Structures are given as C-alpha cells and as structure tokens.
Amino acid sequence: MAKEKKKKIRRPRAETPKGFRDYFGAEVEERGDMLRKIAGVYHRYGFDPLESSAVETVEALGKFLPDVDRPNEGVFAWQEEDGGWLALRYDLTAPLARVYAQYRNDLPTPYRRYAMGPVWRNEKPGPGRFRQFYQCDADTVGAPTVAADAEICAMLADTLEVVGIPRGDYVVRINNRKVLNGVLEGMGLEGDEQRDAVLRTIDKFDKVGEAGVRALLGKGRLDASGAYIDGVGLSDDQAAPVLAFLTSRAEDAGATLANLRAAVGQSVVGAEGVDELEQIAALLEAQGYGTDRIIIDPSVVRGLGYYTGPVFEAELTFEILDEKGRKRQFGSVAGGGRYDDLVKRFTGQAVPATGVSIGVDRLLAALRAKGRVKGGDAGPVVVTVMDRDRMADYQAMVAELRNAGIRAEVYLGNPRNFGNQMKYADKRNSPVAVIEGEDERARGVVQLKDLALGARLAAEATHEEWKAQPAQIEVARTDLVQAVRKMIAQGITQGDEG
Amino acid sequence: MAKEKKKKIRRPRAETPKGFRDYFGAEVEERGDMLRKIAGVYHRYGFDPLESSAVETVEALGKFLPDVDRPNEGVFAWQEEDGGWLALRYDLTAPLARVYAQYRNDLPTPYRRYAMGPVWRNEKPGPGRFRQFYQCDADTVGAPTVAADAEICAMLADTLEVVGIPRGDYVVRINNRKVLNGVLEGMGLEGDEQRDAVLRTIDKFDKVGEAGVRALLGKGRLDASGAYIDGVGLSDDQAAPVLAFLTSRAEDAGATLANLRAAVGQSVVGAEGVDELEQIAALLEAQGYGTDRIIIDPSVVRGLGYYTGPVFEAELTFEILDEKGRKRQFGSVAGGGRYDDLVKRFTGQAVPATGVSIGVDRLLAALRAKGRVKGGDAGPVVVTVMDRDRMADYQAMVAELRNAGIRAEVYLGNPRNFGNQMKYADKRNSPVAVIEGEDERARGVVQLKDLALGARLAAEATHEEWKAQPAQIEVARTDLVQAVRKMIAQGITQGDEG
C-alpha cells in the first residue's frame, strides 16, 4: 500500500531499558576499589572467590510455578528451543546452593566462598530501585558450629573498617531465630496462621517500635495514614514474652543474655538459641571484638522469618541528611544469618550454611557521604594540537608522559578551534594542558596550562594572587615530563589545602 | 489419579545450564589480576571505564527481525509485559553505540572508553565454546583521525607487555579496508554479488594461503575433505591485484606501502587507504614503536568485511603444543579496527569510531602457557581444632595471624577426626597447619606443620633430607605469628628453587 511505503523508517531509541542504568568513569572505579578492598579482607579470612554463571535453569533457581505457562514474576526468564526455561540469577545465594550441590565432592568442606556481581530482579522499577544491581556475599557452607557465624560477624566488622568506615561509626548486631522460636513456643499460639501473624508483626518492630508492636499483637492500631490495622488478637499476657524478647537488650552481653533466658522460659530450642548467642559473644571477645563493634541485640528482626539460627546486621550509626534535609542515621548496609536448608532442595541432605550480603550501592553511598572515596576522576593531561601536520610530535609527547606513568592523551577531535580543545580538557577534568605551536617549537619550549589552578583562581583568587601564581608557564621541551609532574603534584597539594 | 500421586517428587538438577560455566578461586583471581593490569594501561591512555547494563532493548541491539515472532537466534531475549523485547548484550560495541547516542551531549568528544564484562550468545555450545564469556574492549568515539587508530595499536602493544607477554613474543599487524576497496575498484567486478564472493574468498586467506585464494578466485579447488569448492570465476588478470594486495608485505613499511600503491592503481580510495597506513606507521615510529612490535601487514584479513578503515590484530608468535602435541603458533588474542557508522542507526549522524577487543580467555590461556600467572592458589594457614571447647582460643590465634596480614582460618568442620582436618588443609592448599592440643597448651607451645615442605619431601626427598628438614616444629605460643611467617617465606623460596 502506498501509505505503508511512505512511512518513515523509525530509528531505534537510544535508551537504557526501564529500570536499568549505566555506570561511567569514577562510578565504576570507586565501586571497583571498594570491592577490591572487601575481597582483600575475605581472602585473608580464607574465603575463595566464586563467579557462577549469570544464567541458571529456572528449576535450579526454584522459581518455577508449575501451574502457569511462564515462570513467575521476580525473575527474567525465557524458554529454550528444547523447552527448558532459563533465567537470570536474582541473588548470589541460590547459585551458591546449586554450585555446592553440583561440586560438593570437589569442594573443601567447610566451603568458604565470596561472590561479587550483578543480580537481576524483574520488578517494577522506581526511583533508586533498579532491576540490575550489585551484590557482594560471603558464605560458609558445611560448618554447623556458631564459630562460623561469629567469624562472619568479625569479618564484617573488619570489612567496614577496611573500606573506610571508622570504628564507632558502625555496629554489627546479632540476634537468633532460635530464641524467637523459644519465645513463640511458650505463648500457646493457635496454629501456624497466628504464628505467622506474630512473625509479620515482629518484622515491623523497626518501624513501629515497642508500643506499635504491643498494639498490633493485641487489638490493632491506627497507622500513620489514619487507617486502622487489625491486631493479632493476643492477650497482654500472651504478648508479654515477645515484647520482653524484643526489648531485652541491656548494657552488656551478660545482662542481655539473662533477659533472653527469662523470655524463653522452659523452651529447649530457646535455651539453645541463648547458648549460641553466648558462645558467639565469647568467641568474638576472644578475638578482640568488643561491644563497640559487635553486640547481641534482640531488636534486630530483619530476616528473622527467613533465617534458621543467628541473624546479623551491620548498621552505620553516623547521621546524614535525608532528602528532606532532616538528620537521620545512615542505617543498615549489610545483613545475613544462618540458613541450614541451602542444598537440601537438590540433594535431600541438609547442609548448614551461614553468610552475609553487603549492600554494595548503600555502602558506596555511605562512603561518599563520609568523603571516603577519592572525589572526582583523575583526568588526563591533554596535549593540544596546534598544527595537525605535527601529530607525530604530539603523540611522542604523550608517549613520554605515559611512559613516566602520567595519565595523558592527545586531542583527537578536529583541532581547528583551540577553544574546543580547552573545553574538552575541562570536560575531561584535566589537570594540565600542554601547548606547542610553531613559535614554541622554534624555540624548543612548550606552554603548560595549570587547569586545576586556573579553575581555583577563577573561583576565588584576588588580582594579586592571579599575578603571583601564573596559571600558565613556559618550560623547555626537554623538561616536559618533570614540569608536568611538578604541576600536578602542586595541584594536588593546593587542592587539599583549599 | 493414584499413579500421579505416587510419583516421587523430582529434585531439581544441580547443573549449570548447557553452555555456561562457573569460575572458582584462582580462575577468578587470575582473570581479575589481568583485567586490572589492562585497566591500568587504558587509564594511562586517558580511557574511562564504562559499565553499561547487561540488558538492552532488542531494538537498541538491532537484532530484531520484524517478520518473526521472536528475536532471531544469537541473543537471549524475552518479552516484557508491555510487549517490548529485552535481551542480554551479545558484545560491548552495540551497548557503546547506544550509550554514546543517549549521552552524546554530556560525554566528551572524542570519547575514549573501555569496558570489561560478560557478554552472552545464544549459540549452540560446543567444547570450549560458551554462551557467556568475557570481553574487554577499548574504543575511541568521535575521532576521525587515524591518530586514534595508531593510539589503539600502541596501547594494545603496551597492554600485552604489561600483562606479561614479552616484546618479541607478539606482533600487532595493521591493514586497511580502504586499500582493499581500491583494489576491488580496479578489478571490474560484475555487481555486488561477485564483490561479496571476492570478499568471502579473501577472508579465507588465513586458512588456504596464496595458492588457495588464487584457485578460489578462479575456477575453484578441492578442499581438505575432498569436496570441490566452486571458484568466483575471475580471470588470472582480474585476480592479480587481490593477490598482489594480500602478499604485498615486504621487509619494511616503506617497501610494503610501495607494493600497496602499485596494487591499488588509480583508485582514489585505495590511495587514501595507503596514505592512512603511511600516517599510522609514521605516528607509531615517532612514539618509539618499531617493527618488532607493530607492522603494516596486508595479509591481515580478519574483519576486513566488517570494518571501514584501518584493521588491526594482535598475534602471539611463540609456539605452544596443540591438543595433538604438535607445535603451533599461539595466534590471535585481540583484534579491532575503524567502524564509522556506529551511532548512525540511532541519530542518523555518522560518528567515526575505532577500537579493539581483547579475547580475555585466550589471553589468559596464553599467560598460563607462558607461566605468567602465579600458579596455584595461595591457601590459608589452617589452625586445627584439637579441643572443640577451646574454639575461642583457636579463633584468637587466627585473628592474630590475620591481623598480621597472614591468610588464615580455623577448621570449622566436625573436629573429631584429625585426619579429616589434615585432608581439608591439603585441599585448601594450605602452607602451614597449626596444632595446639592439651599438652601443647599446658607447655605454652604450638606445633607448626610445614605442609608445603611436607608435600615436596613426600614427592622427592631422600631419608637424610627428611631428617635434616623436619616438616613439623614446635614454637612458643607467643612466637606464633613470627614462626608462621618464616615458614611460609621458606616455603616460597624453596618452591621457587625446586
């Protein structure tokens, strides 16, 4: 049809898919630096890296719903020609389970491994919520002893300090699901439904506090939006042990543990849980981790529903300003715990495991908030092109600079407009521009423009300072490397002073 | 149905999907080390890292065939709820095109970027052929000058040396598609079909050599399997310029360029191509890259069909044994060239670009073949558990060792069987085992077992050596760190001597 023919060829949109993003320059470097430091600590603790494939069978991930045509929401999945479904991993734990089950005869037991890399979630994207993000996990598989849990907590504390969170600005909190189980045992709950309702309520302790949990375990409460939330319907007596558990943290580990023993009453599993916490506290103390770094804190409830034993969380305690300019604590950057059914899905055999996951983006944000990542990108020295027929000479300069370990490049755009070259150097955050025109060439010199100084002078200098500190100097061509190095070094010193 | 009910619950298979693989320990570390060194060189050359999202819209990748229901083979793709198709990137160049088109107003021009990461291909897997693998690319976008191509070649040579390929063991070869275009112009070919047939034939030069190409341009030839392959049907006179082009490499760049000028005859584009090669040779010479590192070599044909200007390839020239024990050259580890239509699909505007892609797995294999990666994994010191009630003491030892920078771990498996602890230490490639039983504890000492020495002695020692070099020593508990450090250092020295 004529109409069809006239249709303009539509160009593809140059857009990152919704919920995905790209990382540029310094962002990539800063994350890389942080992960490298973390890997250094993990290595020292005897953990080995594992990089599993990004793609798993849906059956290995355990996300296939047999009664629908497609795997459920939450994962990106597609069907192979042979009918099997593949999916992108949604975390680093499910692949660890598959890997351990697959290679268990070759791997050491216990198997300490760390993994860093992107994971994918097929969720509705939102502000700051991406469908691809980094995770950084360390897990010990095959160690039933709580010494493994204690080790993870110690490693977490070391890691935070190594990446740049000073002691005093973080705390690792430890709780234990078994203690909670003991508390629940003594409450005389009616069936799993009521038990699950209690668990869900406990999970809100972070947000609603003691009074909120008390109300929600009883008759209910008005939430912030004014809606009435029905409670679980427990009597005050029934609810008391839960509140005792959640608020049992005392001034030291001994007192906290005594409170917990009271809260679990006669429960065997509860007593076991308290014993475990006691052992963990003793192990950490023996290694020199005091309560300034790691504490027993039964108010940690995140993930209590998921884990089967000790649960831990690393919180940053310094304040930042939120989006509305209010001060608030930075909050959690890592969490983990013991999950003893990791491999059972595959082999039928229960394998104890414990591990931690660091929120890579959150920790990076924290380091940025503390000024602990080297700000800005170290731009290259830019050698400008004054005479395009002498490109070989400019390239030779650049080669000299690079061979001396200085980051440098020649301007490779159209050199006609010198202003564009300076704009380029500016965009590249270049510390120094090198200029050699016909005149300089004849006299055996080059001009060095101190761009870092120029920017500072433009921002803040008086006229006298302008004159005293010329932002452009002339040096002998043979002194190029030495003079550039000196100029960069001065820029760094003065930048730090400023 | 009763039969249905009795069916055993099938466990998920613990298997990497077909064509995918996992990387363990040293493999991850070695690749990471290599990529870090490469990034160091790229950084020095002014290239910035870019990490684009692993997922792209199919339209941005340009792999959507409008007449089928699903995107074509070659990519892993899936449909979103809103009907759009997403796919995993199959290389790092298509995402660069999308990113540059998307952010062109914010990025510097020229934009030098490098990218490292996995890409995915939905292909039939085979031995050594995976559906997820690493690529490592560096590209300069927006620079029309061949100085950009020369820079990429220089950077490639530097990179190979920095990762551990000594000068003399590699060569970067450069060719130019424009020269070939000039050659084709003068041949009087009949239409695009014959032209494409000639291009396909040239692409076989690597495999069939001069005589093979001569035959295939003419009447045809018997291939290795005995099948007769029809030729393009050119006369000898017509085929002559192609053969002159392919075999024009002479003892130096000047002679090679003279041969090429003869081969392109009166063609304007051909002359332009020869001029470009001449400029590249001059630029590289000015930067000190002699023909021992980078050469003009018109026999490089890989990718000539794809690129639009200069084409380059890095070849390792040392010999290795192939799977049948025959000596052969290691071959190509990187390739690239100029492709000037990168962004046009998106914006309608032609943007010149040139770049190189390093075959990460091949280069790693080459370094392994040359013994240039630190062999084996540096295992941790293993502190054994002789008395499980004293775990806190063992953890304290481990903490001391780690705080001294020594990789160390306590045995976290069931400690009952000491033999299992030693087997574990063995599997971990541990250099030293620390043993402290009740007796040692009472005397304030620990036993150190030199496992590296033990392994060497077991393999090669005489009885006298056994006696002279006890693989187990007793040291004061207070000397633990110092003694372990000494034992590890000795092991490294003696291992190197052996």
Looking at residue B195, its pLDDT comes to 85
- Amino acid in the structure at residue B223: D
- Amino acid in the structure at residue A419: G
> What ipTM was reported for this prediction?
0.89
Residue B404 forms contact with A (CB below 8 Å): no
User: Are the beta carbons of A57 and B13 separated by less than 8 Å?
Assistant: yes
With H, G, I as helix, E, B as strand and everything else as coil, classify residue B53.
coil
Distances A17 to B54, B88, B107 between C-alpha atoms, Å = 10, 11, 20
Question: Which residues have a Cβ under 8 Å from the Cβ of B105 and sit 6 or more positions away?
Answer: none
What's the token pair of residue A268? 């065997």
**Residue whose C-alpha is closest to residue A145's, from A279, A321, A13:** A279
**Residues B340-357: tens digit of each pLDDT:** 887 898 999 889 999 999
Percent of chain B predicted with pLDDT > 90: 62
The residue count of chain A comes to 498
- Give, for all 498 residues of chain A, the pLDDT tens digit: 444 555 566 789 999 999 999 999 999 999 999 999 999 999 999 999 999 999 999 989 885 444 445 555 689 999 888 888 999 999 999 999 999 999 999 999 999 999 999 999 998 888 878 999 999 999 999 999 999 999 999 999 999 999 999 999 999 999 999 999 999 988 878 788 888 888 888 888 888 889 999 999 999 888 878 888 888 889 888 889 899 999 999 888 999 999 999 999 899 999 999 999 999 999 999 999 999 999 999 988 777 778 899 999 999 998 888 778 888 888 899 999 999 887 898 999 889 999 999 999 999 999 988 887 775 567 999 999 999 899 999 999 999 999 999 999 999 999 998 989 999 999 999 999 999 999 999 999 999 999 887 777 777 766 666 566 668 899 999 999 999 999 998 876 665 443
Which chain B residues have a beta carbon less than 8 Å from that of A15? Answer: 57, 60, 98, 102
A15, A148, A346 member nearest B11 (Cβ):
A346
**Residues B36-79: tens digit of each pLDDT:** 999 999 999 999 999 999 999 998 988 544 444 555 568 999 98
What are phi and psi for residue B75, nearest 5 degrees?
Answer: -125, 155
Whole-model pTM: value is 0.90
- Amino acid in the structure at residue A491: G
Give the single-character DSSP code of A68: S
Residue B46 forms contact with A (CB below 8 Å): yes
Handedness of CA A103, A108, A110, A112 (dihedral sign): negative
With H, G, I as helix, E, B as strand and everything else as coil, classify residue B321.
strand
Q: Which domains does chain A have, with CATH numbers?
A: 25-54+89-178+280-369 (3.30.930.10), 381-497 (3.40.50.800)
* Cα torsion through A181, A187, A189, A195, rounded to 10: -30
Residue B451 forms contact with A (CB below 8 Å): no
* Alpha carbon distance A478, A181 (integer Å): 77
**Residue whose C-alpha is closest to residue B99's, from A189, A15, A472, A177:** A15
Looking at residue B485, its pLDDT comes to 95
Closest-CA residue of B relative to A48 is B25
Which chain A residues have a beta carbon less than 8 Å from that of B120? Answer: 54-55
Closest-CA residue of B relative to A343 is B14
Query: Treating both helix axes as pointing N-terminal to C-terminal, what angle do A253-264 and A177-185 enclose, rounded to 10 degrees?
Result: 30
Can you tell me which residue has the tokens 């010193």?
A493
DSSP letter for each residue of A436-451: --HHHHHHTEEEEEEH
* Alpha carbon distance A144, A147 (integer Å): 8
Closest-CA residue of A relative to B345 is A11
A46, A148, A409 member nearest B112 (Cβ):
A409
**Residues B130-157: tens digit of each pLDDT:** 999 999 999 999 999 999 999 999 999 9
**Residues B466-478: tens digit of each pLDDT:** 566 668 899 999 9
For the segment B370-380, the average pLDDT, to the nearest whole number, is: 75
Least confident of A202-206, B103-107, B414-418: A202-206
Contact at 8 Å (CB) between B286 and A396?
Answer: yes
DSSP letter for each residue of A120-173: E-BS--BTTB-SEEEEEEEEEES--SHHHHHHHHHHHHHHHHHHT--TTSEEEE
What DSSP element (H or E) covers B488? Answer: helix B480-497
DSSP letter for each residue of B157-195: HHHHHHHT--TTSEEEEEEEHHHHHHHHHTTT--HHHHH
A49, A97, A120 member nearest B28 (Cβ):
A49
Instruction: Mark which residues 296-315 of B lie under 8 Å from A by CB.
Output: none
